Amino acid sequence: MSAATPNVAASVRARLLNVAKAQGVDFNQVLVRFALERILYRLTQSPHADRFLLKGALLFTLWYDMPHRATRDADLLGFGASDLESVAQVFRDIAAVPVDDGIMFDPASVTVEEIRKEAGYGGVRVMIAGDLARARCKTQIDVGFGDAVTPAPVDSVYPVLLEEMPAPRLRAYPTYTVIAEKLHAIALLGMTNSRLKDYFVAPDL
């Protein structure tokens, strides 16, 4: 893990505190969003960039330049090896990408476990420890495998919290695919669907 420049880390933390105050939200919520943004940037700068598509709640930040709801994780569609050790090594590589944006991610902290989503497909959950001028956070990334994406993914620029930061440029689910997945989950699971937000989010799309 490469150390962040101390004055950069302190400056970024202070400015994120100002963002939290301006938006009237808890600092930890802003810190989590920043950590997700910066791990996505590292992903795009790594040799593994082409192995993932952005999906899930962070797409609302992408589409509307603001989060649809507070989210504590990123959802990705992954390609390639899906066993736990292979995924762990990929994210250790991503966490180790050197970027002078104030936040440090510890490659040695990467953990991966299997998860099963409500719509019947499996995936893995990745946890990575981060540190921003002694403000610590856990970054959670859920990765699914095997989904078909139709129409084709779209090239996207993910919005940044601090304007001088380089933005993640990555491929993402198109709106049509998101709508189709949510309607499929509603039709498949009906009233047993524990993701009640699907019923409220779909009209916004």
- The answer to whether the CB of 150 falls within 8 A of the CB of 160 is no
Residues 6+ apart with CB under 8 A from 202: 179, 182, 183, 186
Q: What angle do CA 53, 146, 175 make, to 5 degrees?
A: 45
Quick check: helix, strand or coil at residue 100?
A: coil
Q: What average pLDDT score do residues 27-38 get?
A: 96
Flag the least confident range among 2-6, 17-21, 49-53: 2-6
User: What is the percent of the chain with per-residue pLDDT over 90, rounded to a whole number?
Assistant: 65
| 65 pLDDT more than 70 | no
Locate tokens 């995936």: which residue?
123
Query: Using 50, 70 and 90 to split pLDDT, how confident is the model at 175?
Result: confident
Please name the helix (run of DSSP H) or strand (run of DSSP E) that holds residue 42, with its range, or none: helix 27-44
Q: What angle do CA 147, 149, 152 make, to 5 degrees?
A: 155
Which pLDDT score, from 0 to 100, does residue 66 have?
A: 59
According to DSSP, residue 116 is labeled E
Residues 6+ apart with CB under 8 A from 164: none
Architecture of domain 6-204: 2-Layer Sandwich (3.30)
Per-residue model confidence as pLDDT tens digits over 153-174: 899 999 999 999 999 999 998 8
Q: What average pLDDT score do residues 47-73 get?
A: 82
In 25-182, DSSP assigns E strands to 52-55, 73-78, 103-105, 111-116, 122-132, 135-145, 154-157, 169-172
| 122 pLDDT more than 90 | no
Query: Using 50, 70 and 90 to split pLDDT, how confident is the model at 184?
Result: low
More confident position, 177 or 38: 38
